[in-house]
């Protein structure tokens, strides 16, 4: 908050409280012109519609004290907790601090409960029902926003159940993808290739995946491919897990395999990011969720028994 808004909030808040107190004190003391009604009760002296009058009873004491009580309470609150602009309050409490504290406590409890189990080798953990239950839960809360609640992915987010791995499907590679994250860099070739050349290259990429395409178009595209793409995607198009360059021969795409999708990818490049879970989930949770992801693939390959 800038100094201006800090003081804006401080002054408005305190002035408001002061004005309220003044209002009650002042009106409590003020003598209003009075009269009496037919029953002989004291009134404010105003008369409406000939015989409507307003009784001039003082505010009930308890109500006044309740009011002063709330004023005192608000002042104590504002002294202890954040509320007055940038003033942090003498207790130093913050919602972030409380959140961090609770998360820390939850993590400590979690590690006490599951820390030992987590030390099993990942391949073994992937067959452990307790670990998978925990892992599924972690996945639902931390991964499904991108990879889908069934882990089947979405456009831009790889399917984690189909046995096709961009970065490799070994236990260690999957662990690396999750714990350390991945940053894919496919440069755009919009400057190097004109529209026609992009279309030819896209046709060749479709041919790599076994699609029926105009063969002269694809043959022309192959030249661009060999020159610009083979270094990362391999001369035969089977990709390179070290670079995260996808296998282009399977027909499985992160970003779609239509002519338009491929042309877009070739022209503009793609930079998919898998966020590292080291600092987000920590080691123990990452192990469980990795085990869960591994187990999904055992099932998809037909070797599991779900």
CB 117 within 8 A of CB 128: yes
Minimum distance from CB of 22 to ligand HEC (Å)?
A: 54
Q: Which is nearer to ligand HEC, 43 or 205 (CB)?
A: 205
Q: Which residues of 222-239 are buried (b: 16+ CB within 10 A; e: fewer)?
A: bebbeebbeebbeeebeb
Q: Which is nearer to ligand HEC, 51 or 194 (CB)?
A: 194
Distances, alpha carbon 292 to alpha carbons 113, 175, 184, 208, 219, in Å: 18, 11, 23, 32, 43
**Nearest to ligand HEC of 85, 143 (CB atom):** 143
Alpha-carbon gap, residue 258 to 106, rounded angstroms: 46
Q: Minimum distance between the CB of residue 95 and ligand HEC, rounded to whole angstroms?
A: 23
Minimum distance between the CB of residue 265 and ligand HEC, rounded to whole angstroms? 4
Sign of CA dihedral 85, 90, 91, 92: positive
What's the start-to-end Cα distance of the chain, in Å? 54
Residues in contact with ligand HEC by CB under 6 A are 139, 142-143, 145-147, 156-158, 160, 165-167, 174, 177-178, 182, 184-187, 189, 201, 205, 225, 228-229, 231-233, 243-246, 248, 253-255, 262, 265-266, 270-275, 277, 281, 289, 293
- From CA 139, how far away is CA 176, in angstroms rounded? 16
Q: Which structure tokens are listed for 130?
A: 């307790």
- Decide whether 39 or 279 has the Cβ nearer to ligand HEC: 279
CB 168 → ligand HEC: shortest distance, Å? 6
Question: Two tokens at 201?
Answer: 């290259």
Q: Tokens 């022209």: give the residue.
A: 267
Residue nearest ligand HEC, Cβ-based: 272
Is 53 or 286 the residue whose CB approaches ligand HEC more closely?
286
Q: How far is the CB of 200 from ligand HEC (least distance, A)?
A: 10
State the nearest-atom distance from the C-beta of 27 to ligand HEC, in Å.
Answer: 59
298 burial level (CB within 10 Å; 0-12, 13-18, 19+): middle
Closer residue to ligand HEC (CB): 145 or 211:
145
Least Å distance between CB 98 and ligand HEC? Answer: 25
Residue with smaller CB distance to ligand HEC, 66 or 185? 185
């Amino acid at each position: 908050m800038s100094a201006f808004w800090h003081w804006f909030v401080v002054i408005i808040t305190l002035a408001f409280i002061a004005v309220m107190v003044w209002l009650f004190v002042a009106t409590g003391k003020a003598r209003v012109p009075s009269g009496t009604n037919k029953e002989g009760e004291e009134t404010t002296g105003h008369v409406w519609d000939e015989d409507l009058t307003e009784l001039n009873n003082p505010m009930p004491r308890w109500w006044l004290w309740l009011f002063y009580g709330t004023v005192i309470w608000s002042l104590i609150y504002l002294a202890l907790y954040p509320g007055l602009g940038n003033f942090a309050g003498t207790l130093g409490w913050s919602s972030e601090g409380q959140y961090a504290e609770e998360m820390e406590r939850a993590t400590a409890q979690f590690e006490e409960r599951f820390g030992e189990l987590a030390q099993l080798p990942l391949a073994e953990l992937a067959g452990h029902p307790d670990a998978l239950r925990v892992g599924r839960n972690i996945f639902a809360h931390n991964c499904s926003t991108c990879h889908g609640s069934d882990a089947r992915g979405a456009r831009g987010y790889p399917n984690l159940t189909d046995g096709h791995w961009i970065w490799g499907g070994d236990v260690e590679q999957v662990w690396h993808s999750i714990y350390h994250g991945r940053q894919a860099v496919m440069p755009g070739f919009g400057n190097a290739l004109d529209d026609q050349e992009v279309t030819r290259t896209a046709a060749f990429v479709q041919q790599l995946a076994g699609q029926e395409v105009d063969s002269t178009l694809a043959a022309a595209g192959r030249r661009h491919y060999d020159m610009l793409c083979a270094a990362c995607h391999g001369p035969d198009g089977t990709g390179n897990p070290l670079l995260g360059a996808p296998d282009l021969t399977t027909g499985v795409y992160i970003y779609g395999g239509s002519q338009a999708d491929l042309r877009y990818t070739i022209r503009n490049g793609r930079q998919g990011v898998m966020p590292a879970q080291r600092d987000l989930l920590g080691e123990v949770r990452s192990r469980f969720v990795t085990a869960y992801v591994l187990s999904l693939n055992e099932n998809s390959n037909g070797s599991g028994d779900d």
